[in-house]
Amino acid sequence: MELRDKVALVTGAGTGNGEAIAERLYAGGASVVLVSRRLEAVELVCRRIDPKGMRTLGLEADVRYPIDMESAVKRAIEQFGKLDLAVNNAGITGPAGVPVQDVETEVWREVIDTDLTGIFYSMKYEIPAMLANGSGAIVNMSSANGLVGLAGMAAYTAAKHGVIGLTRSAALELAESNIRVCAVAPGYVATPRIMDSGKEVSDWMASVHPMKRLATREEVADLVAYLLSERAAFMTGSVHSIDGGYTAQ
């Protein structure tokens, strides 16, 4: 129970990595605020992991809108009294296989607004809450493709590179404030969406990792929980790939 008495907020918590992270933080003793654009999705997760509803709160919020994230942080504090931890996970990939010159401007804007600007808006309101506590820890979800290029997915790749820059800048700004900011950069993970895409697609994704498999959601969640815990107390501004050797090639 390394996160006992902590209050955490997780965006994109209705499914995929976000769901697994929220569940892991709850198992570690934290009270968890689960945020998603789809309220029904996070309410289902809350009921599954916390049937008595004592240490979870599901909220509908869209990270693309600062007023939504300001409200989500405010609700978290109203419910649990403080905010100690945040995992900024909400994101979309956009279409694949599209050259830069053919990317629709609306697609570019949607991916950047969700994957990069959404993390900025989240941090904009999470950080003051943590400063009020005198401590905190934030994990921003980047991607293995935030460390290397990926043809045909320029918006996603640019956004995930941007997340790393944002993480490092914030970490330096907060280094003397007892607030740590790290990034996690997963390769392909066996989320429901990926597994539902068909065996041919999931096998191809596994094949691009030198370890020839997908990451599990639990492996990603365990890494995030470690970075949020006091065991990682001297780690800030760092980027942690969990990609089966993908970025080592």
Residue that is written with structure tokens 């290397």 in the block: 148
CA dist 34 and 55 (Å) reads 11
Of the listed 121, 156, 188, 246, which one is catalytic? 156
Q: What are phi and psi of 151, to 5 degrees?
A: -65, 140
Residue 65 among the catalytic residues: no
3 within 8 A of 86, measured Cβ to Cβ: no
CA dist 63 and 79 (Å) reads 20
98's CB contacts (< 8 A; 6+ apart) are 107, 152, 153, 154
Tokens of residue 111, six digits: 């991916």
Tokens of residue 64, six digits: 């693309």
82 within 8 A of 7, measured Cβ to Cβ: yes
234's CB contacts (< 8 A; 6+ apart) are none
CA dist 34 and 46 (Å) reads 8
Tokens of residue 137, six digits: 């820890």
CA dist 196 and 224 (Å) reads 25
State the catalytic residues.
Answer: 156
